[in-house]
Protein backbone atom coordinates (compact mmCIF):
# COMPACT_ATOMS: atom_id res chain seq x y z
CA UNK A 1 0.00 0.00 0.00
CA UNK A 2 1.29 3.41 -0.94
CA UNK A 3 -0.13 6.52 0.64
CA UNK A 4 -0.22 9.20 -2.02
CA UNK A 5 -0.68 12.19 0.25
CA UNK A 6 1.85 11.36 2.91
CA UNK A 7 4.23 8.53 3.43
CA UNK A 8 3.42 5.52 5.56
CA UNK A 9 5.92 6.55 8.16
CA UNK A 10 4.50 10.04 8.27
CA UNK A 11 0.99 8.68 8.62
CA UNK A 12 2.01 6.43 11.48
CA UNK A 13 3.87 9.27 13.12
CA UNK A 14 0.93 11.61 12.67
CA UNK A 15 -1.43 9.09 14.14
CA UNK A 16 0.85 8.41 17.07
CA UNK A 17 1.37 12.10 17.75
CA UNK A 18 -2.28 13.01 17.39
CA UNK A 19 -3.27 10.05 19.49
CA UNK A 20 -0.89 11.17 22.20
CA UNK A 21 -2.27 14.68 22.09
CA UNK A 22 -5.87 13.55 22.15
CA UNK A 23 -5.10 11.21 25.00
CA UNK A 24 -3.42 14.04 26.85
CA UNK A 25 -6.37 16.31 26.22
CA UNK A 26 -8.69 13.61 27.36
CA UNK A 27 -7.02 13.49 30.72
CA UNK A 28 -6.21 17.16 30.99
CA UNK A 29 -9.47 18.62 29.73
CA UNK A 30 -11.76 20.58 31.99
CA UNK A 31 -13.68 17.82 33.60
CA UNK A 32 -17.14 18.22 35.01
CA UNK A 33 -17.06 16.89 38.51
CA UNK A 34 -20.12 14.91 39.40
CA UNK A 35 -22.13 16.75 42.02
CA UNK A 36 -25.43 15.29 43.24
CA UNK A 37 -27.94 18.00 44.07
CA UNK A 38 -31.36 17.88 45.62
CA UNK A 39 -32.89 19.31 42.47
CA UNK A 40 -31.74 20.77 39.17
CA UNK A 41 -34.88 22.84 38.63
CA UNK A 42 -33.21 26.08 39.75
CA UNK A 43 -30.00 25.37 37.83
CA UNK A 44 -31.90 24.74 34.63
CA UNK A 45 -33.68 28.04 34.96
CA UNK A 46 -30.40 29.78 35.76
CA UNK A 47 -28.80 28.41 32.61
CA UNK A 48 -31.73 29.43 30.46
CA UNK A 49 -30.91 33.08 30.82
CA UNK A 50 -29.63 34.13 27.39
CA UNK A 51 -27.67 37.05 28.79
CA UNK A 52 -25.39 34.73 30.64
CA UNK A 53 -22.10 33.88 28.93
CA UNK A 54 -22.64 35.49 25.57
CA UNK A 55 -19.59 33.88 24.06
CA UNK A 56 -20.34 30.31 24.94
CA UNK A 57 -24.07 30.70 24.93
CA UNK A 58 -25.40 32.82 22.13
CA UNK A 59 -22.39 32.38 19.88
CA UNK A 60 -21.46 28.87 20.84
CA UNK A 61 -22.61 27.28 17.62
CA UNK A 62 -20.84 29.90 15.50
CA UNK A 63 -17.71 29.57 17.54
CA UNK A 64 -17.76 25.84 17.12
CA UNK A 65 -18.27 26.19 13.38
CA UNK A 66 -15.40 28.65 13.13
CA UNK A 67 -13.13 26.34 15.06
CA UNK A 68 -14.02 23.53 12.73
CA UNK A 69 -13.17 25.63 9.68
CA UNK A 70 -9.87 26.69 11.22
CA UNK A 71 -9.09 23.09 12.02
CA UNK A 72 -9.82 22.02 8.46
CA UNK A 73 -7.69 24.82 7.05
CA UNK A 74 -4.79 24.01 9.32
CA UNK A 75 -5.05 20.36 8.38
CA UNK A 76 -4.87 21.28 4.72
CA UNK A 77 -1.89 23.55 5.25
CA UNK A 78 -0.10 21.06 7.45
CA UNK A 79 -0.44 18.27 4.97
CA UNK A 80 0.31 20.26 1.80
CA UNK A 81 3.37 21.96 3.27
CA UNK A 82 3.16 25.14 1.25
CA UNK A 83 6.22 27.25 0.53
CA UNK A 84 6.55 30.74 -0.86
CA UNK A 85 8.98 30.87 -3.73
CA UNK A 86 10.68 34.16 -4.37
CA UNK A 87 10.36 35.66 -7.80
CA UNK A 88 13.26 34.95 -10.07
CA UNK A 89 13.81 31.35 -9.08
CA UNK A 90 14.08 29.51 -12.33
CA UNK A 91 12.52 26.14 -12.70
CA UNK A 92 14.71 23.12 -13.11
CA UNK A 93 14.03 19.75 -14.58
CA UNK A 94 16.24 17.16 -12.97
CA UNK A 95 17.08 14.28 -15.27
CA UNK A 96 18.50 11.40 -13.34
CA UNK A 97 20.28 8.64 -15.14
CA UNK A 98 19.02 5.42 -13.59
CA UNK A 99 21.30 3.27 -15.73
CA UNK A 100 24.08 3.47 -13.23
CA UNK A 101 25.49 1.33 -10.49
CA UNK A 102 23.13 1.11 -7.57
CA UNK A 103 25.20 3.08 -5.10
CA UNK A 104 25.75 5.89 -7.58
CA UNK A 105 22.07 5.98 -8.39
CA UNK A 106 21.24 5.98 -4.69
CA UNK A 107 23.51 8.95 -4.22
CA UNK A 108 21.73 10.72 -7.07
CA UNK A 109 18.33 9.97 -5.49
CA UNK A 110 19.53 11.32 -2.16
CA UNK A 111 20.72 14.46 -3.90
CA UNK A 112 17.33 14.87 -5.57
CA UNK A 113 15.47 14.39 -2.31
CA UNK A 114 17.66 16.93 -0.61
CA UNK A 115 17.41 19.44 -3.44
CA UNK A 116 13.74 19.03 -4.26
CA UNK A 117 12.78 19.29 -0.60
CA UNK A 118 13.89 22.89 -0.53
CA UNK A 119 11.36 24.15 -3.04
CA UNK A 120 9.25 21.40 -4.59
CA UNK A 121 7.48 23.80 -6.92
CA UNK A 122 10.68 24.65 -8.75
CA UNK A 123 11.63 21.13 -9.65
CA UNK A 124 10.44 18.41 -11.94
CA UNK A 125 12.12 15.03 -12.04
CA UNK A 126 12.60 12.63 -14.92
CA UNK A 127 14.21 9.25 -14.47
CA UNK A 128 15.85 7.49 -17.39
CA UNK A 129 15.88 3.71 -17.10
CA UNK A 130 16.55 3.50 -19.98
CA UNK A 131 13.46 5.32 -21.31
CA UNK A 132 12.44 8.61 -19.73
CA UNK A 133 9.83 8.35 -16.98
CA UNK A 134 8.23 11.43 -15.53
CA UNK A 135 8.62 11.07 -11.78
CA UNK A 136 7.46 14.45 -10.58
CA UNK A 137 5.77 17.39 -12.23
CA UNK A 138 6.35 20.93 -11.04
CA UNK A 139 2.99 20.86 -9.33
CA UNK A 140 3.48 17.55 -7.53
CA UNK A 141 5.17 16.44 -4.41
CA UNK A 142 8.21 14.26 -4.75
CA UNK A 143 7.50 10.67 -3.81
CA UNK A 144 10.94 9.12 -3.42
CA UNK A 145 9.51 5.62 -3.67
CA UNK A 146 8.87 6.29 -7.35
CA UNK A 147 12.60 6.66 -7.83
CA UNK A 148 13.64 3.55 -6.01
CA UNK A 149 13.80 0.20 -7.69
CA UNK A 150 14.10 1.42 -11.24
CA UNK A 151 17.87 1.42 -11.45
CA UNK A 152 19.25 -0.73 -14.24
CA UNK A 153 22.62 -1.58 -15.61
CA UNK A 154 24.11 -2.89 -18.83
CA UNK A 155 22.01 -0.72 -21.05
CA UNK A 156 22.10 2.77 -22.48
CA UNK A 157 20.06 5.55 -20.98
CA UNK A 158 18.18 7.60 -23.50
CA UNK A 159 19.36 10.88 -22.07
CA UNK A 160 18.66 12.78 -25.28
CA UNK A 161 14.99 11.84 -25.13
CA UNK A 162 14.90 12.74 -21.46
CA UNK A 163 16.42 16.14 -22.13
CA UNK A 164 13.89 16.70 -24.89
CA UNK A 165 11.09 15.76 -22.50
CA UNK A 166 12.56 18.09 -19.90
CA UNK A 167 12.62 20.91 -22.41
CA UNK A 168 8.95 20.22 -23.18
CA UNK A 169 8.11 20.39 -19.50
CA UNK A 170 9.79 23.76 -19.24
CA UNK A 171 7.90 25.03 -22.27
CA UNK A 172 4.63 23.82 -20.77
CA UNK A 173 5.36 25.62 -17.55
CA UNK A 174 5.69 28.85 -19.49
CA UNK A 175 8.82 29.99 -17.73
CA UNK A 176 12.49 29.86 -18.44
CA UNK A 177 14.40 27.13 -16.75
CA UNK A 178 17.26 24.74 -16.71
CA UNK A 179 17.90 21.11 -17.08
CA UNK A 180 20.13 19.36 -14.60
CA UNK A 181 21.40 15.99 -15.66
CA UNK A 182 22.62 13.63 -12.99
CA UNK A 183 24.83 11.16 -14.75
CA UNK A 184 28.32 9.78 -14.71
CA UNK A 185 28.52 9.43 -18.44
CA UNK A 186 29.61 12.20 -20.77
CA UNK A 187 27.17 14.43 -22.52
CA UNK A 188 27.95 16.06 -25.83
CA UNK A 189 24.97 18.36 -25.94
CA UNK A 190 25.65 21.58 -24.07
CA UNK A 191 22.09 22.73 -24.24
CA UNK A 192 18.67 21.67 -25.41
CA UNK A 193 17.19 24.22 -27.76
CA UNK A 194 18.80 27.01 -25.84
CA UNK A 195 17.92 25.66 -22.41
CA UNK A 196 21.08 25.42 -20.33
CA UNK A 197 22.03 21.93 -19.31
CA UNK A 198 23.90 21.35 -16.12
CA UNK A 199 25.70 18.11 -15.67
CA UNK A 200 26.10 16.92 -12.13
CA UNK A 201 28.15 13.92 -11.31
CA UNK A 202 26.83 12.20 -8.25
CA UNK A 203 29.30 10.61 -5.91
CA UNK A 204 28.83 6.90 -5.47
CA UNK A 205 28.32 7.08 -1.77
CA UNK A 206 28.97 9.39 1.05
CA UNK A 207 32.66 9.08 1.75
CA UNK A 208 34.32 9.19 5.09
CA UNK A 209 35.50 12.43 6.52
CA UNK A 210 38.11 14.46 4.70
CA UNK A 211 37.21 13.00 1.34
CA UNK A 212 35.52 14.88 -1.46
CA UNK A 213 31.85 14.08 -1.40
CA UNK A 214 30.43 16.05 -4.29
CA UNK A 215 32.35 17.37 -7.19
CA UNK A 216 30.50 19.04 -9.96
CA UNK A 217 30.32 22.11 -12.06
CA UNK A 218 27.49 24.47 -12.62
CA UNK A 219 26.49 26.73 -15.43
CA UNK A 220 29.19 29.28 -15.28
CA UNK A 221 32.58 27.88 -14.63
CA UNK A 222 32.00 27.36 -11.03
CA UNK A 223 33.22 24.30 -9.29
CA UNK A 224 31.33 23.20 -6.22
CA UNK A 225 33.10 20.74 -4.02
CA UNK A 226 31.46 19.27 -0.99
CA UNK A 227 34.03 18.11 1.44
CA UNK A 228 33.56 17.12 5.01
CA UNK A 229 36.17 16.97 7.63
CA UNK A 230 39.27 19.05 8.04
CA UNK A 231 39.21 22.41 6.32
CA UNK A 232 42.11 24.40 5.01
CA UNK A 233 43.72 21.46 3.32
CA UNK A 234 44.94 21.74 -0.20
CA UNK A 235 43.20 20.13 -3.14
CA UNK A 236 44.68 20.03 -6.61
CA UNK A 237 42.37 20.39 -9.56
CA UNK A 238 43.73 18.89 -12.71
CA UNK A 239 42.19 19.98 -15.99
CA UNK A 240 43.03 17.97 -19.03
CA UNK A 241 42.11 19.13 -22.51
CA UNK A 242 41.80 16.12 -24.78
CA UNK A 243 41.75 18.27 -27.90
CA UNK A 244 45.22 19.66 -27.50
CA UNK A 245 46.57 17.50 -24.70
CA UNK A 246 47.11 20.48 -22.45
CA UNK A 247 47.04 20.01 -18.69
CA UNK A 248 46.50 22.65 -16.06
CA UNK A 249 46.83 22.25 -12.35
CA UNK A 250 45.20 24.53 -9.83
CA UNK A 251 45.62 24.62 -6.15
CA UNK A 252 42.37 24.88 -4.21
CA UNK A 253 41.87 25.35 -0.53
CA UNK A 254 38.57 24.49 1.13
CA UNK A 255 37.77 27.18 3.63
CA UNK A 256 34.78 25.66 5.32
CA UNK A 257 33.18 22.38 6.01
CA UNK A 258 30.64 21.35 3.39
CA UNK A 259 30.29 23.14 0.10
CA UNK A 260 33.14 25.28 -1.26
CA UNK A 261 33.01 27.15 -4.49
CA UNK A 262 35.92 27.69 -6.83
CA UNK A 263 36.26 29.58 -10.04
CA UNK A 264 37.47 27.68 -13.03
CA UNK A 265 40.07 29.25 -15.28
CA UNK A 266 38.90 31.14 -18.30
CA UNK A 267 40.55 28.99 -20.88
CA UNK A 268 38.34 26.10 -19.88
CA UNK A 269 35.46 27.80 -21.55
CA UNK A 270 33.95 26.05 -24.51
CA UNK A 271 36.11 23.03 -24.31
CA UNK A 272 35.47 19.55 -23.07
CA UNK A 273 37.92 19.56 -20.28
CA UNK A 274 38.37 16.57 -18.07
CA UNK A 275 38.47 17.55 -14.46
CA UNK A 276 40.10 15.53 -11.80
CA UNK A 277 40.68 16.25 -8.15
CA UNK A 278 43.84 15.13 -6.44
CA UNK A 279 43.05 14.59 -2.83
CA UNK A 280 45.40 14.70 0.12
CA UNK A 281 47.27 11.50 0.57
CA UNK A 282 47.61 10.83 -3.13
CA UNK A 283 43.99 9.80 -3.60
CA UNK A 284 42.20 10.86 -6.71
CA UNK A 285 38.55 11.64 -7.07
CA UNK A 286 36.83 10.21 -10.13
CA UNK A 287 37.26 12.18 -13.30
CA UNK A 288 34.42 14.39 -14.35
CA UNK A 289 33.61 15.70 -17.77
CA UNK A 290 32.94 19.39 -17.73
CA UNK A 291 30.54 20.87 -20.21
CA UNK A 292 30.25 24.59 -20.62
CA UNK A 293 26.62 25.60 -20.88
CA UNK A 294 25.47 28.55 -22.85
CA UNK A 295 25.57 31.95 -21.22
CA UNK A 296 22.24 33.02 -19.89
CA UNK A 297 22.88 36.67 -19.12
CA UNK A 298 23.50 39.59 -21.39
CA UNK A 299 27.22 40.08 -21.17
CA UNK A 300 29.08 43.28 -20.68
CA UNK A 301 31.39 43.74 -23.64
CA UNK A 302 34.84 44.84 -22.61
CA UNK A 303 37.90 45.73 -24.63
CA UNK A 304 41.09 45.44 -22.71
CA UNK A 305 44.12 47.09 -24.09
CA UNK A 306 46.67 45.73 -21.71
CA UNK A 307 49.17 43.35 -23.22
CA UNK A 308 48.23 39.72 -23.19
CA UNK A 309 48.53 37.43 -21.46
CA UNK A 310 47.52 39.45 -18.47
CA UNK A 311 46.13 38.07 -15.27
CA UNK A 312 43.44 40.73 -15.49
CA UNK A 313 42.56 39.56 -18.95
CA UNK A 314 42.35 35.97 -17.76
CA UNK A 315 40.17 36.99 -14.92
CA UNK A 316 37.80 39.04 -17.03
CA UNK A 317 37.57 36.25 -19.55
CA UNK A 318 36.49 33.88 -16.87
CA UNK A 319 33.59 36.03 -15.79
CA UNK A 320 30.45 34.91 -17.59
CA UNK A 321 28.88 38.30 -17.28
CA UNK A 322 31.73 39.81 -19.31
CA UNK A 323 32.64 39.24 -22.91
CA UNK A 324 35.98 40.41 -24.17
CA UNK A 325 36.26 41.99 -27.52
CA UNK A 326 39.02 43.45 -29.63
CA UNK A 327 36.68 45.87 -31.35
CA UNK A 328 36.59 49.10 -29.43
CA UNK A 329 33.46 50.22 -31.32
CA UNK A 330 31.27 47.50 -29.87
CA UNK A 331 32.74 47.67 -26.40
CA UNK A 332 30.68 48.86 -23.51
CA UNK A 333 33.85 49.46 -21.65
CA UNK A 334 37.41 50.00 -22.76
CA UNK A 335 40.14 49.38 -20.29
CA UNK A 336 43.29 51.11 -21.20
CA UNK A 337 46.72 51.57 -19.82
CA UNK A 338 48.43 54.47 -18.18
CA UNK A 339 49.16 55.81 -21.64
CA UNK A 340 45.46 56.19 -22.31
CA UNK A 341 44.83 58.56 -19.45
CA UNK A 342 44.19 61.44 -21.78
CA UNK A 343 41.39 59.69 -23.63
CA UNK A 344 38.22 61.06 -22.18
CA UNK A 345 36.10 58.03 -23.09
CA UNK A 346 38.31 55.40 -21.62
CA UNK A 347 38.24 53.79 -18.27
CA UNK A 348 41.45 53.05 -16.60
CA UNK A 349 42.15 50.16 -14.36
CA UNK A 350 45.39 50.25 -12.51
CA UNK A 351 46.65 47.08 -11.04
CA UNK A 352 48.39 48.08 -7.91
CA UNK A 353 50.00 45.58 -5.60
CA UNK A 354 48.72 46.19 -2.12
CA UNK A 355 50.16 45.50 1.25
CA UNK A 356 47.10 43.65 2.41
CA UNK A 357 45.71 40.37 1.24
CA UNK A 358 42.10 41.48 1.22
CA UNK A 359 41.15 42.54 -2.30
CA UNK A 360 39.45 45.86 -2.63
CA UNK A 361 38.66 48.33 -5.33
CA UNK A 362 37.82 51.93 -5.84
CA UNK A 363 37.39 54.39 -8.66
CA UNK A 364 37.50 58.11 -8.90
CA UNK A 365 36.36 60.77 -11.30
CA UNK A 366 38.74 63.59 -12.14
CA UNK A 367 37.56 66.90 -13.57
CA UNK A 368 40.01 68.19 -16.11
CA UNK A 369 39.27 71.37 -18.06
CA UNK A 370 35.55 70.98 -17.74
CA UNK A 371 35.55 67.42 -18.96
CA UNK A 372 35.13 64.26 -17.08
CA UNK A 373 38.47 62.62 -17.00
CA UNK A 374 38.78 58.93 -17.63
CA UNK A 375 37.39 56.92 -14.83
CA UNK A 376 40.14 55.21 -13.05
CA UNK A 377 39.65 52.05 -11.06
CA UNK A 378 42.20 50.62 -8.76
CA UNK A 379 42.38 46.96 -7.98
CA UNK A 380 44.49 46.34 -4.96
CA UNK A 381 45.69 42.86 -4.40
CA UNK A 382 49.13 41.85 -3.45
CA UNK A 383 48.91 38.56 -5.33
CA UNK A 384 47.45 40.01 -8.49
CA UNK A 385 49.29 38.96 -11.58
CA UNK A 386 51.50 36.49 -9.90
CA UNK A 387 49.62 33.33 -10.58
CA UNK A 388 46.74 32.26 -12.78
CA UNK A 389 45.21 30.51 -9.80
CA UNK A 390 44.19 33.89 -8.49
CA UNK A 391 41.33 33.59 -10.93
CA UNK A 392 39.96 30.77 -8.86
CA UNK A 393 39.71 33.04 -5.88
CA UNK A 394 36.01 33.88 -5.72
CA UNK A 395 36.59 36.84 -3.47
CA UNK A 396 38.88 38.51 -5.93
CA UNK A 397 36.69 37.62 -8.88
CA UNK A 398 33.72 39.15 -7.14
CA UNK A 399 35.65 42.30 -6.43
CA UNK A 400 36.77 42.66 -10.01
CA UNK A 401 33.31 42.00 -11.36
CA UNK A 402 31.87 44.58 -9.05
CA UNK A 403 34.45 47.12 -10.19
CA UNK A 404 33.95 46.48 -13.87
CA UNK A 405 30.22 46.79 -13.78
CA UNK A 406 30.43 49.82 -11.56
CA UNK A 407 32.80 51.55 -13.94
CA UNK A 408 30.47 50.74 -16.81
CA UNK A 409 27.62 52.29 -14.92
CA UNK A 410 25.58 49.11 -15.12
CA UNK A 411 24.09 47.11 -12.32
CA UNK A 412 25.36 43.69 -11.69
CA UNK A 413 23.20 41.11 -13.43
CA UNK A 414 21.01 39.20 -11.11
CA UNK A 415 20.14 39.94 -7.56
CA UNK A 416 23.41 40.65 -5.85
CA UNK A 417 23.33 39.74 -2.23
CA UNK A 418 26.25 41.07 -0.32
CA UNK A 419 25.15 39.75 2.98
CA UNK A 420 28.38 37.82 3.05
CA UNK A 421 30.83 40.06 1.22
CA UNK A 422 33.42 38.17 -0.67
CA UNK A 423 31.79 34.85 -0.16
CA UNK A 424 30.02 32.65 -2.60
CA UNK A 425 26.71 34.27 -1.79
CA UNK A 426 27.92 37.51 -3.29
CA UNK A 427 29.20 36.16 -6.50
CA UNK A 428 26.64 33.48 -7.14
CA UNK A 429 23.96 35.72 -8.67
CA UNK A 430 26.51 37.36 -10.87
CA UNK A 431 27.64 34.01 -12.09
CA UNK A 432 24.01 33.00 -12.52
CA UNK A 433 24.45 29.98 -10.39
CA UNK A 434 21.21 28.22 -9.79
CA UNK A 435 20.47 29.06 -6.18
CA UNK A 436 19.03 25.69 -5.40
CA UNK A 437 22.43 24.11 -5.95
CA UNK A 438 23.94 26.26 -3.30
CA UNK A 439 22.15 26.03 0.02
CA UNK A 440 23.65 29.26 1.27
CA UNK A 441 22.14 31.16 -1.62
CA UNK A 442 18.97 29.18 -1.84
CA UNK A 443 17.99 29.99 1.70
CA UNK A 444 17.93 33.66 0.80
CA UNK A 445 15.46 33.15 -2.01
CA UNK A 446 13.00 30.65 -0.68
CA UNK A 447 11.04 30.96 2.50
CA UNK A 448 9.28 27.74 3.25
CA UNK A 449 6.25 28.29 5.45
CA UNK A 450 7.67 26.04 8.07
CA UNK A 451 5.32 27.48 10.62
CA UNK A 452 2.36 26.20 8.66
CA UNK A 453 3.77 22.98 7.43
CA UNK A 454 5.50 21.83 10.55
CA UNK A 455 4.32 19.27 12.99
CA UNK A 456 3.44 21.92 15.47
CA UNK A 457 0.58 23.13 13.31
CA UNK A 458 -0.62 19.63 12.78
CA UNK A 459 -0.69 19.34 16.54
CA UNK A 460 -2.48 22.64 16.82
CA UNK A 461 -5.05 21.38 14.40
CA UNK A 462 -5.81 18.32 16.44
CA UNK A 463 -5.91 20.44 19.55
CA UNK A 464 -8.51 22.66 17.90
CA UNK A 465 -10.50 19.71 16.71
CA UNK A 466 -10.34 18.06 20.09
CA UNK A 467 -11.36 21.28 21.76
CA UNK A 468 -14.35 21.66 19.48
CA UNK A 469 -15.27 18.03 20.02
CA UNK A 470 -15.11 18.33 23.78
CA UNK A 471 -17.06 21.55 23.69
CA UNK A 472 -19.86 20.04 21.66
CA UNK A 473 -19.86 16.90 23.69
CA UNK A 474 -20.23 18.72 26.98
CA UNK A 475 -22.64 21.33 25.77
CA UNK A 476 -25.96 21.25 27.57
CA UNK A 477 -28.99 20.40 25.47
Residues that bind another protein (CB under 8 A): 30-47, 49, 52-53, 474-476
With beta carbons less than 8 A apart as the criterion, state whether 261 and 394 touch.
yes
In SS3 terms, 139-204 reads as: CCCCCHHHCCCCCECCCCCCHHHHHHHHHHHHHHHCCCEEEEEECCCCCCCCEECCEEEEEECCCC
- Closest C-alpha among 46, 53, 71, 73 to residue 470: 71
Closest to another protein by CB, 50 or 194: 50
- Cβ closest to another protein, residue 48 vs residue 249: 48
Question: What is the distance between the alpha carbons of residues 263 and 394, in angstroms, rounded to a whole number?
Answer: 6
Q: Considering the complex, what minimum distance in angstroms separates the CB of residue 425 from another protein?
A: 57
Q: Minimum Å distance from CB 56 to another protein?
A: 8
Q: Which is nearer to another protein, 41 or 367 (CB)?
A: 41
HSE-up of residue 412 (Cα within 13 Å, Cβ side): 20
Specify the long-range contacts of residues 199-202, CB closer than 8 Å, at least 24 apart.
199/289, 199/290, 199/291, 200/111, 200/437, 201/286, 201/288, 201/289, 202/104, 202/105, 202/107, 202/108, 202/111
Strand residues in 329-464 grouped as ranges (E): 333-336, 347-352, 360-364, 367-368, 371-372, 375-380, 446-448
Hey, which residues does 83 pair with through a beta bridge?
Answer: 448
In sequence order, the 6+-apart residues with CB closer than 8 A to the CB of 430 are 319, 321, 398, 401, 412, 413, 414, 416
Calculate ∠ Cα 17-22-25, nearest 5°. 125
Please state the closest distance from residue 448 (CB atom) to another protein, in A. Answer: 41
Task: State in angstroms the smallest separation of the CB of 470 from another protein.
Answer: 11
431 three-class SS: coil
CB of 417 to another protein, least distance (A): 56
Q: Which is nearer to another protein, 53 or 283 (CB)?
A: 53
Cβ-based nearer residue to another protein, 33 or 243: 33
Minimum gap (Å) between residue 469 Cβ and another protein: 15
User: Can you give the length of the chain in residues?
Assistant: 477
The three-state DSSP-derived secondary structure of 298-332 is CCEEEEECCCCCCHHHHHHHHCCCEEECCCHHHCC
Q: Are 97 and 183 in contact (CB under 8 A)?
A: yes
H or E segment to which residue 43 belongs:
helix 41-48
Query: Residue 460 Cβ, how far from another protein at the closest point, in Å?
Result: 24
Residue 164 or 471: the one with the smaller Cβ distance to another protein is 471
Amino acid sequence: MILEGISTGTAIGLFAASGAILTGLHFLRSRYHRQPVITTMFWREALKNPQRRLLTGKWSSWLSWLLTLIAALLLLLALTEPAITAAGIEKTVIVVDAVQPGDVYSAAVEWIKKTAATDPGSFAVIAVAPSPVLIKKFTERLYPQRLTGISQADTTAQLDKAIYLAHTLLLDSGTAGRIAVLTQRGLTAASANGTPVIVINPAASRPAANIVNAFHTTTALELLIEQHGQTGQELVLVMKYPKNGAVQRFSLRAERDGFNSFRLPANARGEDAELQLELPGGKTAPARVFLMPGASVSPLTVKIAVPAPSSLQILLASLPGIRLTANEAEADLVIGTAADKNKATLLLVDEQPASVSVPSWRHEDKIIAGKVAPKTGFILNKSLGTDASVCANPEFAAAVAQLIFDLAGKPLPGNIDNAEPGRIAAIAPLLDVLPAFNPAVFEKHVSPLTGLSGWIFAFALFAFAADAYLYLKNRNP
